[in-house]
């Protein structure tokens, strides 16, 4: 990394310290749960960001943008879903989230094979997000890149009703309602929302319907939570454009996506149950997901599956003394499974043709872990842990007229983590961390490009993370700085084949290395003004990677910008609030050969809202402008496309407005 990068980090850190020292009062520490037990953010020896959405933050991508090292993409193409990458993990995904473990209210959203879809989340319900950046397999299993812990609104003790109405350009319309009630130890919440958009591009309309219900019981023994989430989504897919098509019209759809009526529809029901006591937690979940899509080609261009999934797990912790040291021991175990009945049919320009694939797919995972945290004295602390995971992926071919394409893969993985912390003073801590992790291919990614069924050549990626950092917390300031290096073997890389636009396959790269710097800042300048920022420098490169007769060794990882900066200045008082933020990204490459360079951009967004209180009721009208200066940018990149269809343009200046009423 260049010396100027280190110099910038040191100068910024020095500024943070000087500002903090001017505020001598003690700040109640931020508490996190990402280490499986409640702990102070300052004392946790790992890189972890915390997001608590403020007024006017309406979308998931804006929430995640506040965390250094996190890259959100594909906000406007709901057929692909919001894609997130953390330190480059997840950048390979053709849709949804990969390489990250996601939990909502303590219950896994991620499938046993590593797939995660965020389409069931209602952003209006999210109250807090914790993001572990870097390998976290020791605590969470199949999570090479990190963990997202999302907490949604809890039912209130008093009855309340909240209504949200939003409208804007691109045909964006949203109507949401929440009702909460409490009586003694019991409480309940029901939230419904409907979203529609016409989209910036042709053939980009979408409709989502979400119902969320929560029931709770609080008593002396502990807390019981029952949650239900139901979604019904439909979205057209405008596809990606070539460079030549971009020059003609950025808002057009890919011609074949129009001809073949490319789209997807999803129905899902998900039930979660959790019990939390003073020193242990138990959880269980079950659900069903029905999926259909149409891709822009004929052979096998329509896919459908019926998925049943579920699992249960728990962990407990207790404090003890050993060798004269205060210690906390945490033990846990998890069992999860999913089963898909998958079919493919020919896509006859939108009509369903002959069936070309019929198979049953299964993923079963079991994991157990142990972690010990040690207090080594007034200033020193340490933690060590180990986890054993067993993951089996199976494909059972039910259509045998073209041969048996069945296959299976069993992974038995042992991973560890060790960290050391040193308290510089009551407000700052240094830490160092070493952790290993693994990332399996998902069942969908095991598709064989040479035919149906199972790709026996695709293996799991292995990662080793080395990280040092410093974090500080004062009455008005919180900052964190992390430097890391991750060495990977068998990194999972996407590619496509000619004649099958829209379908992505995967292969393993030999070795790669990721080096980076992350800086996060939250400064409450005074009771009304707040400044927050997140900056990342990412030097992610292949070290040994040959494919299709080409040598990509030394090339940058596709889809990840070298630098990313998010900054926001906000003003808030009892009657009104305003915020302006900038999201800037440097250039990235669209393919492993690094021949297609995608220019960076900087988008400015504004929010302004009022609060009108009358008779115990509140009305909150607001207005927002995304991409204030109308910059050309790309909402998403489709990596390594064999037909040169890399680009999904994002919209220019977009006006939104809404009103929230609380009773």
Let me know if residue 49 belongs to a domain: yes
Let me know if residue 619 belongs to a domain: yes
Mean pLDDT of all residues in 455-466 = 90
What whole-number percentage of the chain has pLDDT above 90? 77
Mean pLDDT of all residues in 428-443 = 93
Q: What are the DSSP E strand ranges found in 77-205?
A: 83-86, 100-104, 107-108, 126-133, 146-152, 160-168, 172-183, 186-197
Mean pLDDT of all residues in 29-42 = 85
- Among 144-148, 217-221, 510-514, which is the least confidently predicted range? 144-148
Let me know if residue 22 belongs to a domain: no
Confidence of residue 133 (pLDDT cuts 50, 70, 90): very high
Higher pLDDT, 10 or 528: 528
Q: What CATH code is carried by the domain that includes residue 597?
A: 2.40.170.20
Q: What is the pLDDT of residue 451?
A: 57
Closest-CA residue to 493 (of 519, 511, 517)? 511
Name the token pair of 186: 């019991």
Confidence of residue 343 (pLDDT cuts 50, 70, 90): very high
Q: What is the pLDDT of residue 503?
A: 81
CA-to-CA distance for 61 and 84, rounded, in angstroms? 9
What whole-number percentage of the chain has pLDDT above 70? 95
State in Å, rounded, how far the first CA of the chain is from the last one: 54
**How would DSSP label each residue in 207-254?**
EEEEEEEEEEEE-SS-EEEEEEEEEEEEEE----B-HHHHHH-TTPPP
Q: What is the pLDDT of residue 14?
A: 44
Structural domains in the chain (count): 1
Name the token pair of 36: 């499986």
Let me know if residue 460 belongs to a domain: yes
Give me the sheet containing 48-51, strands edge to edge: 48-51, 126-133, 146-152, 100-104, 107-108
Let me know if residue 24 belongs to a domain: no
| Model pLDDT for residues 56-83, shown as the tens digit of each residue | 667 888 899 999 999 999 999 999 889 9
| Model pLDDT for residues 591-621, shown as the tens digit of each residue | 999 999 999 999 999 999 999 998 888 999 9
Q: What is the mean pLDDT of the chain?
A: 91
Range of the domain at 250: 34-662
Let me know if residue 9 belongs to a domain: no
Name the token pair of 328: 């906390």
CA-to-CA distance for 49 and 46, rounded, in angstroms? 10
CA-to-CA distance for 499 and 168, rounded, in angstroms? 38
| Model pLDDT for residues 238-267, shown as the tens digit of each residue | 999 999 999 999 999 999 999 999 999 999
Let me know if residue 1 belongs to a domain: no
> 180-196 burial string, b = 16+ CB within 10 Å, else e?
bbbeeeebbbbbbbebe
CA-to-CA distance for 335 and 313, rounded, in angstroms? 6
Name the token pair of 327: 């210690």
| Predicted model pTM | 0.92
Let me know if residue 169 belongs to a domain: yes
CA-to-CA distance for 326 and 321, rounded, in angstroms? 5
Report whether pLDDT(578) > 50. yes
| Model pLDDT for residues 278-290, shown as the tens digit of each residue | 999 999 999 999 9
Residue 66 DSSP class: T
Closest-CA residue to 116 (of 129, 125, 107)? 107
- 567 and 582 in contact (C-beta within 8 Å)? yes
Mean pLDDT of all residues in 629-652 = 95
Q: What value does the CA radius of gyration of the chain take, rounded to a whole number of Å?
A: 24
Q: What is the pLDDT of residue 450?
A: 63
CA-to-CA distance for 309 and 112, rounded, in angstroms? 9
- Looking up tokens 């073209």 gives 402
Confidence of residue 452 (pLDDT cuts 50, 70, 90): low
Residue 404 DSSP class: -
CA-to-CA distance for 155 and 188, rounded, in angstroms? 5
């Amino acid at each position: 990394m260049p010396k100027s990068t280190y110099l910038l980090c040191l100068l910024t850190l020095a500024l943070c310290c000087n500002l903090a020292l001017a505020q001598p009062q003690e700040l109640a520490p931020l508490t996190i749960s990402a280490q499986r037990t409640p702990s102070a953010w300052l004392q946790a020896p790992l890189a972890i960001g915390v997001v608590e959405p403020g007024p006017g933050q309406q979308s998931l991508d804006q929430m995640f943008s506040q965390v250094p090292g996190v890259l959100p993409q594909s906000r406007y193409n709901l057929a692909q879903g919001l894609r997130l990458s953390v330190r480059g993990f997840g950048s390979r995904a053709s849709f949804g989230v990969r390489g990250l473990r996601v939990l909502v209210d303590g219950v896994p959203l991620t499938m046993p094979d590593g797939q995660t879809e965020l389409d069931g989340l209602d952003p209006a319900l999210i109250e807090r997000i914790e993001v572990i950046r870097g390998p976290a397999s020791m605590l969470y299993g199949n999570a090479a890149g990190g963990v997202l812990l999302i907490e949604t609104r809890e039912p209130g003790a008093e009855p309340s009703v909240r209504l949200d109405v939003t409208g804007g350009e691109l045909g964006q319309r949203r109507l949401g309602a929440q009702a909460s009630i409490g009586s003694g130890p019991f409480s309940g919440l029901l939230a419904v929302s409907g979203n529609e958009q016409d989209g910036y591009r042709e053939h980009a309309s979408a409709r989502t319907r979400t119902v969320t219900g929560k029931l709770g019981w609080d008593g002396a023994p502990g807390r019981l939570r029952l949650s239900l989430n139901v979604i019904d989504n439909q979205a057209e897919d405008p596809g990606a454009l070539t460079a030549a098509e971009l020059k003609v019209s950025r808002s057009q759809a890919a011609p074949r996506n129009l001809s073949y009526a490319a789209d997807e529809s999803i129905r899902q029901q998900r039930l979660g149950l959790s019990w939390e006591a003073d020193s242990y937690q138990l959880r269980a979940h079950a659900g069903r997901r029905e999926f259909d899509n149409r891709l822009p080609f004929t052979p096998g261009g329509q896919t459908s599956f019926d998925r049943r999934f579920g699992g249960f797990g728990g962990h407990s912790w207790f404090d003890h003394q050993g060798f004269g040291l205060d210690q906390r021991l945490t033990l846990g175990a998890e069992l999860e499974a999913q089963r898909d009945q998958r079919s493919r049919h020919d896509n006859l320009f939108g009509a369903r043709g002959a069936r070309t694939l019929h198979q049953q797919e299964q993923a079963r995972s079991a994991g157990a872990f142990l972690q010990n945290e040690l207090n080594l004295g007034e200033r020193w602390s340490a933690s060590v842990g180990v986890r054993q995971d067993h993951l089996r992926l199976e494909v059972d071919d039910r259509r045998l007229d073209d041969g048996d394409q069945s296959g299976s893969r069993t992974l038995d993985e042992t991973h560890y983590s060790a960290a050391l912390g040193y308290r510089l003073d009551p407000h700052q801590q240094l830490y160092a961390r070493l952790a290993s992790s693994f990332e399996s291919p998902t069942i969908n990614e095991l598709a064989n490009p040479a035919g149906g069924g199972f790709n026996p050549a695709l293996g799991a990626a292995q990662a080793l993370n080395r990280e040092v950092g410093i974090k500080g917390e004062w009455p008005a300031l919180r900052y964190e700085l992390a430097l890391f290096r991750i060495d990977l073997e068998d990194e999972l890389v996407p590619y496509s084949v000619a004649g099958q636009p829209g379908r992505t396959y995967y292969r393993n790269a030999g070795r790669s290395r990721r080096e980076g710097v992350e800086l996060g800042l939250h400064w409450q300048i005074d009771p009304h003004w707040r400044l927050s920022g997140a900056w990342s420098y990412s030097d992610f490169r292949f070290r040994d990677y040959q494919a299709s007769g080409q040598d990509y060794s030394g090339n940058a990882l596709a889809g990840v910008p070298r630098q990313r900066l998010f900054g926001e200045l906000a003003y808030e008082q009892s009657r009104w609030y305003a915020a302006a933020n900038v999201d800037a990204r440097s250039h990235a490459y669209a393919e492993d050969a690094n021949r297609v360079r995608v220019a960076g951009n900087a988008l400015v967004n504004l929010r302004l809202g009022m609060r009108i209180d009358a008779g115990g009721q509140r009305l909150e009208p607001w207005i927002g402008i995304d991409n204030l200066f109308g910059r050309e940018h790309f909402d998403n990149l489709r990596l390594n496309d064999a037909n040169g269809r890399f680009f999904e343009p994002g919209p220019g200046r977009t006006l939104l407005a809404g009103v929230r009423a609380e009773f």
